Structure 1
């Protein structure tokens, strides 16, 4: 890495031409956003598949997703420490290889087949994604002008949505489309032999995913990624005296209202997004809603995630001119309205209402993230770690599964509607910064 104090002129030029300078790195990082979005949403087709193979209740199926997001809680802090120790590029490579290991392990769980092994391997994959999230999200947010951070992250997150849009087609064809449970009518009871055969339909898809992840790790390992520099380094300014508990509660991060409420906003938003994505197929196949097979329903799931991709492109353009918090507030109101329609109507009206929530959810995560780290300066790395840890909120999708089991699947989406109201609160008040730390321009390569 070149010395930080290379020259004042170099830093000034970097500030003026940052977009051009970092364009190749952003393009490569966009592929990471694509892959972790792709793999995460494969779960949307994997859950109904595993529910059939292992004869799971809605709660047990949702528990699979809970294990996935619990990994964010346990892996976020170790990820931040690893990044601090070995740097961003090596951490990105490590994250990709961890994900590839988990993908290969999924084939082992399919061969046995084993519900327990499947849960463990999903945890491994999610741990690798956590490492990528801790590294890539703050990177994209801070390498340009602060006022366009939301627009920039929304633009790159659009590639994440491209992955989420294609994943249902991939999973629908190679998993649901090649299994008896995925092509049978709703309510069909499978024999033991058919369930064992269905379990093995995940082997080819996950081997393909593992191969792509390894290739991507090799490419990134040879790419000269620019370093974030002093702008986002873990803060050393607070005194390390007193007990661990007192240091935690007195940490300067908690002086930033936008971060404190942002952690809650990410946590609650993930409950909404993951609940919709994972229960979508089960919702649409119901006779009173879409009355179709799981394979057919997975095609409509593509439209849900496609709406998120379109929304992020549009949102990126809008937020280049309009305050990000105002755009977030409008999205929260829209999401609440369509979720209410999905709960209290039937047939294709309910189905298309649920599909349209993707358009309103599209800008929420990247916008909350950039609003949450706004003004953190040298505390950005630690703040980003907390926001990524909050992705563990997706684990509470099991609560929606429990509601679906006891009060009905359609009623369970009232939980999603409630989540939208908190996002509205964050947009209108919680996202307003209370302290602003000085920023330092990033320099050098890693």
Structure 2
């Protein structure tokens, strides 16, 4: 297809399916915890607006959960069909970790999901709240195991290699590998932010159309509080993650920075913008701030950041890709902080629900959390190249022996089916959001 070989088609196919998939769990993780908070607030205050919001967002959650399960199963099958070399080499570690995810998380979510969605009038309030909390806990446990598996591929620990296969010797080191705590916190916090932006944009959309109800106002208020508190925390976590990556994957940091060569005795500048050129081995049109690269990445004005030229060509990630994917993620993170601070400023002036400029800003930022997550995954996965298991197994050695025609047809089928099936699900979810939650009074009338 278009002159691309089977190896790169397999990479494109996996990138397409995982990018489609990650959107749904990200929203599911955040919405599950949001639903638990809403039900807890309703039990405490008996404010019918919280109950109304719970029923409204539980429908959106159900749609996301279903699409996430289906897209996740399809993605997992590719380990055997397209990446048999990886499965043969690392299956003794990744296989059990994904099994633990199913046994501890998926079964927990599936077991309580029915009670959560359909048991409101059939079980007591306490049991229903417990079911909601268990579903929320299940999403977090699922995140734990998926990130443990992926983080081990980034910073492998606790193994030996025998006869061309990885053998686990210390499961504690396998699971709690050096990058795992930072990546778990970064992803979970990113999911909370993506859901807060999603909820906030929904509220802003209704307020811009004069659908000003107490329930809608609560949606916007809760979303802005979440952004104000969590977005700066995410920036701190990101900084810690960057320092960890510098220690264990210095080539990735060099590619992210577009930094090619160190001058002896000179601190590393921060390149704000530019065009990394892998062939010319330099970043063209670089806009630099002296010393700032060393200050941010080493917390020092003397230490230098490793340069791409210090790594062999075959070990360098594609700086052209990760340079800009990282800046998309970081730039959107700064806008999230700005949105949260703007909300606080308007709240103090009692204009949070009336400022149309702010509401348009919140509406435009609706997909920002998901875009930032996708950009972050591009950064971390493309930055790991040319390794699929960092330092142990190259990506070209992990792919199955398929022909270009086979991979072209399967990729085309994935694109057509995903866009049609999940497009319908996305359209239904948007229709639900456009309807909006009923007010607390309307909800009480319906109950009577």
- Report the TM range for the smaller structure's normalisation: 0.3 to 0.5
Q: Report which of the two has the higher share of strand.
A: 2
TM-score (norm 1): 0.38
Q: Report which of the two has the higher share of helix.
A: 1
TM-score (norm 2): 0.38
Q: Which has the higher contact order (CA 8 A, sep 6+)?
A: 1
